[in-house]
Amino acid sequence: MSYALWIVQGLLALLFLFAGGMKLVLPLEELKGPVPLPGLFMRFIGVAEVLGALGLILPGLLRIRPGLTPLAAAGLVIIMIGATVLTLAGGDVAMALIPLVVGLLSAFIAYGRWRLAPHRGGKEQAA
């Protein structure tokens, strides 16, 4: 189970690094979605996504505060709930499946790292 969690964590981290990075570097005019949001809020979401991506990987990789990984994943679930609701509010039901699936995968990480295969410090991590 640990390997599956690491694979999903890595893929989600790449996705959120890309999505959050784009929200941070693109001009605000290009960040318009189906529902208009304030520019500073979009930048905030970008920062939260980048930090969430780092939180998925770094605690387990560095073995420093590995309990932060499920918290980062839970935060990303909240962001994806918002993204799903906003996409549905914009009238695009099919596109709402993307943040919904990403949110479910984030929830899998949060539950998996909290209950199924929590990170362990020290020598137990090698297994």
pLDDT digits (tens, 9 = 90+) for 29-61: 898 877 889 999 999 999 999 999 999 999 989
Domain assignment present for residue 127? The answer is: no
The pLDDT value recorded for residue 127 is: 39
Is residue 16 within 8 A of residue 124, CB to CB? The reply is no
Task: Flag residues of the chain having pLDDT under 70.
Answer: 117, 119-127
Domain assignment present for residue 115? The answer is: yes
**pTM for the whole structure:** 0.87
Total count of domains within the chain: 1
Domain assignment present for residue 125? The answer is: no
The pLDDT value recorded for residue 35 is: 84
The pLDDT value recorded for residue 122 is: 46
Under DSSP, the state recorded for 114 is I
Is residue 69 within 8 A of residue 119, CB to CB? The reply is yes
CA–CA separation, 113 vs 125, rounded Å? 13
**Domain, as residue range, for 99:** 2-120
Domain assignment present for residue 126? The answer is: no
CA–CA separation, 22 vs 34, rounded Å? 17
Is residue 20 within 8 A of residue 50, CB to CB? The reply is yes
CA–CA separation, 127 vs 123, rounded Å? 8
Domain assignment present for residue 114? The answer is: yes
The pLDDT value recorded for residue 119 is: 65
The pLDDT value recorded for residue 41 is: 95
The pLDDT value recorded for residue 121 is: 53
